[in-house]
Amino acid sequence: MVLLSSLSSSSTILCLLLLVQFYVALSVILLRNHHNNNNNPNHRNPILQGNQTSCSLFKGSWVYDETYPFYQSASCPAVDSQFNCQLYGRPDTEYLKYRWKPANCELPRFNGLEFLLKMKGKTVMFVGDSLGRDQWESLICMISADVPKAQTQMSRLYPISTFKFLDYGVAISYYKAPYLVDIDTVQGKRVLKLDDIRGNANAWHGVDVLSFNTGHWWTHKGPLQGWDNVETGGTMYEDMDPLMAMEKGLRTWARWVDANIDRSRTRLFFQGISPTHYNPSEWNVGASTGSCYGETIPVTTTPMTSTYPGPDLDQSNVIQKVIREMDDPPFFLDITLLSTMRKDAHPSIYSGDLNSQQRINPNKPDCSHWCLPGLPDTWNQLFYTVLFY
């Protein structure tokens, strides 16, 4: 009996020791996996839903990330010379390495194959000004980098350009309509019709995902102004307050969307104002000269990180006011503040739209559009997050 009791006690102790060793080994494995996932950007835990209140997608900071960019401009079939900063001599590359980190969550890593599989047989259209074209080209590049052998087809026409991923039946288009409402030629003059959108809107019927933007063109003057007269309420005007005109045009767009877009079929987005960086006093207190030329890092700790500068605030307020009053408002992609922090991400003088003399003159920079790869990739990562998560 004593021998059996001793054997039983020994067996119990041995089992306990084996259990302890098992749990220790299991804990080590779990801790190692947790550490690896936290340090690998491809294994970040995504937020569960892009627009849930627990995640402030559009408030956060830019963090340096060696895994960026998503692609190289030389390998993308869609990048315009206007946005191809590396091709046109930009000497630095640090601006390519910044990732947007929301304040209280992580964004899922963009996956081009997942995008195509989830959008199989569907259409996406960006509608607006050249910032929409910037984003359209970015999305094509991001997807193409993940499916380099996919069969594709591209057409660039006016006002619509389309890139198709033929193997998946996915078409991604850009429709140029910088004011959203129509511009007609009347007696040789370009007339901005604030009450009419039917000409442009014919192309928007039946699209599965629509993303709109407008902003910069409403404030253009002189040779950059896109119209000669403005018409509203049956009256022709030679000029009009830009914000008033913008609100009238947006309300025409909003009425058309509420009356014509089937929201059970179409996902609808409106992109916030994309800021410019021509005024260095906005990020460098006391500065009186300069621009985005020579800027190589984002803004970190200035008033720009908490407020919108200058006219962007007024235009943003108009957009949000109109959207709030819609019957079924679109998701507002509020990219203004996070983009305002990226004074370093413009083409500056490194743009194919400039001639050789302009490219050696820092007084003529492009501080309005964005380099590709670059900031529009983040816009699309946010677009992707809201669309699928």
Could you list the active site residues? 130, 366, 369
Interior CA angle at 126 toward 313 and 143, to 5°? 115
**Whose CA is closest to 299, among 101, 91, 90, 61?**
61
Cα 141 to its chain centre, rounded Å, is: 13
Assigned token pair, 91: 């000497």
**Helix pair angle (130-146, 375-388), 10° resolution:** 70
Q: Is 261 exposed, middle or buried, given 0-12, 13-18 or 19+ CB atoms closer than 10 A?
A: buried
Q: What is the dihedral of CA 365, 159, 337, 80, to 10 degrees?
A: -40
Interior CA angle at 52 toward 321 and 216, to 5°? 35
**What is the SS3 assignment for the chain?**
CHHHHHHHHHHHHHHHHHHHHHHHHHHHHHHHHHHHHHHCHHHCCCCCCCCCCCCCCCCEEEEECCCCCCCCHHHCCCCCCCCCCCCCCCCCCHHHHEEEEECCCCCCCCCHHHHHHHCCCCEEEEEECHHHHHHHHHHHHHHHHHCCCCCEEEEECCCEEEEEECCCCEEEEEEECCCCCEEEEECCEEEEECCCCHHHHCCCCCCCEEEECCCHHHHCCHHHCCCCEEEECCEEECCCCHHHHHHHHHHHHHHHHHHHCCCCCCEEEEECCCCCCCCHHHCCCCCCCCCCCCCCCCCCCCHHHCCCCHHHHHHHHHHHHHHHCCCCCCEEECCHHHHHCCCCCCCECCCCCCCHHHHCCCCCCECCCCCCCCHHHHHHHHHHHHHHC
